[in-house]
Amino acid sequence: MDYLRPDSLEQALAAAAGGARVLAGGTDLYPLAGPRLKGPVMDLAALPGITGIAEGPEGLRIGACTSWTAIAEASLPPATRALQQAALQVGGRQVQNAGTIGGNLCNASPAADGVPPLLVLGAKVELASATGTRLLALEDFLLGPRRVDLRPGELLAAVLLPRAGLAGVSAFGKLGARAHLVISIASAAVRLEVSGGRIEAAAVAVGACSPVPRRLPSVEAALCGPVEGAAARVDPAAVAAALAPIDDVRASAAYRLRAAAELVRRAVEAAL
């Protein structure tokens, strides 16, 4: 059988162990498929619990096959605004309707728009296998361009947003050479916890400027302090020091570094 549609996790894990390619939204798999998508392919859509957003004591659990549209249209806390803004900028409407958060992560593009907002939320990934479930920080899951820490027989089942990361406000911004359907030249997400006119905690992540999107701890540290003048405390040199962009058809590396700093600054302003 070339096309599997498991309806239980056991079946899915067995198929995964057998080496079937995982089909989530199809928006990355089909473009590379040539005239025909060759199997064996495992379509996750029928798996219980693989789609949808659930709230639990630990935080939010987003099923790996939850679409970007579902994320954009869900009623979620303000800290996830960056994620919801990114959800409306992944491809066009058609790709948002089909494309999934789990697929975006497993595809591991340096420019994946979903990643910076998830990094600032402190997201974890839930990896299921026949031997149990492994929880991994998103930073540790993403290894490099098109490389993730997914062991043979493992499936990305869900993205977890721990309660601690769901505090505060956030914003996402991306820069491309056109308005829609565009791969980011650079992107940035910022989450800020504000209390009494002070930024008590900050999380900043930048995409498309390093092999995988990165958190920027030194920039985060500098942001903590008075709300007043926060954006001005984003030091371009500190942003640049944390990143390692490349020159490509979309932009030069030097430009990406400057754009990243500017996007972070603007995301700070937008979040506040």
Partner 1 sequence: MIRFRLNGKEVAAEAPPAERLSLTLRERLGKTGTKVGCDAGDCGACTVLVDGWATCACLTPLARVEGREVTTVEAETPVLTRLRAAFLAEGAAQCGICTPGMLMAAAELLERRPQPDEAMVRQALGGVLCRCTGYARIVAAVVAAGQGVAAPEAPAAGRAVGAALPRLDGAAKVAGDLFGDDVVPAGALVVKAIRSPHPHAAFRLGDLAGFAARPGVAAVFTAADIPGRNAFSVIPPFADQPAIAASPARFRGECVALVAFEPGAETDLSDFPVEWHPLPALHSPAEAEAEDAPLIHPNRPGNLLIEGRVRRGDAAAALAASAHVVEGSFATAFVEHAYIEPEAGAAWLEGDTLVIRACTQAPGMDREETAAILGLPVDRLRIIPSAVGGGFGSKLDVSLQPLIGLVALKTGRPARMAYTRGESMASTTKRHPAGMRGRIGCDATGRITGMEFEGRFDTGAYSSWGPTVANRVPVHVSGPYRTPAIHARARAVHTHGPVSGAFRGFGVPQAALWQEVLYDRLAGKAGIDRLEFRILNALRDGDTSPTGNALQAVGIGPCLEALRPSWRRGLAWAQEGKGRGIGVASCWYGCGNTALPNPSTIRIGITHAGEVVLHQGATDIGQGSNTVIPQIAADALGLPVGALRLVGPDTALTPDAGKTSASRQTYVTGRAAQKAALALRAAVLRLANAGEGSVLTPAPGRLLVTEGTIRREIDLRALPADPRGYALSAEESYDPPTRPLDADGQGIPYAVYGYGAQLVELEVDPALGTVRLHRITAAHDLGRVINPLLARGQIEGGIAQGIGMALMEEYLPGRTENLHDYLIPTTGDVPPIDPILIEIPDPEGPFGAKGLGEHVLIPTAPAILNAIRHATGAEIARTPALPHRILAAMEGRE
Question: How far apart are the C-alpha atoms of 127 and 65, rounded to whole Å?
Answer: 13
- Please name the residue that has the structure tokens 């990643």: 115
CB of 98 to partner 1, least distance (A): 5
Q: Closer CB to partner 1, residue 177 or residue 241?
A: 177
Which residues of this protein are in contact with partner 1, per CB under 8 A? 2-3, 5, 23, 25-27, 30-31, 35-39, 41, 43, 45, 69, 88, 91-95, 97-98, 175, 177-183, 185, 249-252, 254-255, 258-259, 262
Question: How far apart are the C-alpha atoms of 38 and 3, rounded to whole Å?
Answer: 9
CB of 149 to partner 1, least distance (A): 26
Pairing, β 142-144 against β 147-148: antiparallel
CB of 254 to partner 1, least distance (A): 8
3-class SS of residue 187:
strand
Question: How far apart are the C-alpha atoms of 116 and 207, rounded to whole Å?
Answer: 6
- 151 and 240 in contact (C-beta within 8 Å)? no
CB of 96 to partner 1, least distance (A): 8
Q: Closer CB to partner 1, residue 65 or residue 125?
A: 65
Q: Closer CB to partner 1, residue 178 or residue 229?
A: 178
Pairing, β 225-226 against β 41-43: unpaired
* Burial class of residue 14 in the structure, from the number of CB atoms within 10 Å of its CB (0-12 exposed, 13-18 middle, 19+ buried): middle
Q: Closer CB to partner 1, residue 146 or residue 151?
A: 146
CB of 65 to partner 1, least distance (A): 11
Other CB atoms within 10 Å distance of the CB of residue 26: 18
Q: Closer CB to partner 1, residue 166 or residue 190?
A: 190
CB of 26 to partner 1, least distance (A): 5
Q: Closer CB to partner 1, residue 93 or residue 198?
A: 93
